[in-house]
Structure 1
Amino acid sequence: MNRAAKSVAALLLAGLLPLTAACNGDSDVTTTPNKKSDSQEGKPAEKPAEGTAKKDAKTGDTITLKGMDDGSQLDVTVVKVVDPAKSSDEFTTPESGNRFIGVQFKLVNSGTKAYNDSPSNGAQVADKDGQQFDATFGDITAGPSMSSSVKLAPGGKALGWIVFEAPTKSKVTQVQFAMDSGFSDQTGQWSIG
């Protein structure tokens, strides 16, 4: 069991994460980015014209995700990906045979409720074979880490790096993010690399 899985297990045992949310089978993976730029934040996203092909989200694209509570909504952007990422100190290193991957996320509270969560709990990367890797603790030289406790009023923004650890030989091709520590019904998915 990796460090992130142990952390989630400890939170579940402590009663800090709602176990009932994991039992909901109505999940939805969203790969279609919004059709809006940063200058249009706060305005509703344009819907693709009927009959047009869906475009898979890539680095730089924004996906709007809903949380479990009414009015809970984030515009999530995968800003940059660094693979491999270099630790910012000599004490934090990946396990032998692994590497760090850094993903910079921008979160904008586009809902009507305050957002209060640990974004790294709802973030994963996946390789071309479908293996998924959770976030791990560590700082990288690419820039400041995403706070482990993000609180945003409606309209508020957060920017930071989330670090993942994956085998050196794995070809990471996707980033996923879900609200409510990963328990919400919607998951955003971006193709990378």
Structure 2
Amino acid sequence: MRIQLKTALATCAVVWLGTAALADTPVTYTDAGRPLFSFAVPDFWAVRTGGPREIEDTELGDLRAVARVMGVKPVTDDNVWMGFVSPAGVASIEGGLRYLEDIDRFLVKDPSVSSTSDTRIGGLPARVIRGTGTRDGRGINFTATVIDLPNGRVAVVVAILRDGADPAFVDDLNAVFASFRSAQ
């Protein structure tokens, strides 16, 4: 009886640990009440949303419209961040790349692109740009991705890993990309 109980408890622990590793939280990005895309946020990551707003380019003094940004980051490490946006009026990968050029100075200082590739994310065409730069005076690695959504929209996803971040977070970032799905 005692051996069976220990075996049953060990089995429950293995099942619970296996389930915990897969227990990500689904999040849906909407615009005007219409779902555009979803992705899974890893456990022990925080989600922060912001509404549409305008930000000022301090060098040029002009305002830039920014759609709702959904940011996710680990609760234990401020060195990792991933942001999602679907800017209104941007209908193609090329338009998404122009959008990134327009807002890049708000994300990364002195960017240096190390690679650009075409791929598919969630079954959809995507362009991925990887590189390095600085943010808040610290070195970073970034991945900027434009995903072509149905019905004339795109998703722009930026992942930032500051110098000194735990490299294990790369697996979490890749898992978020792997979970990405169009809601249309």
| Fold shared, TM-score > 0.5 on shorter chain | no
Give the structure-2-normalised TM-score. 0.33
Choose between structure 1 and 2: higher strand proportion: 2
Ranked by relative contact order (alpha carbons within 8 Å, sequence separation 6 or more), the top structure is 1
**TM-score normalised over the length of structure 1:** 0.32
Larger radius of gyration: 2
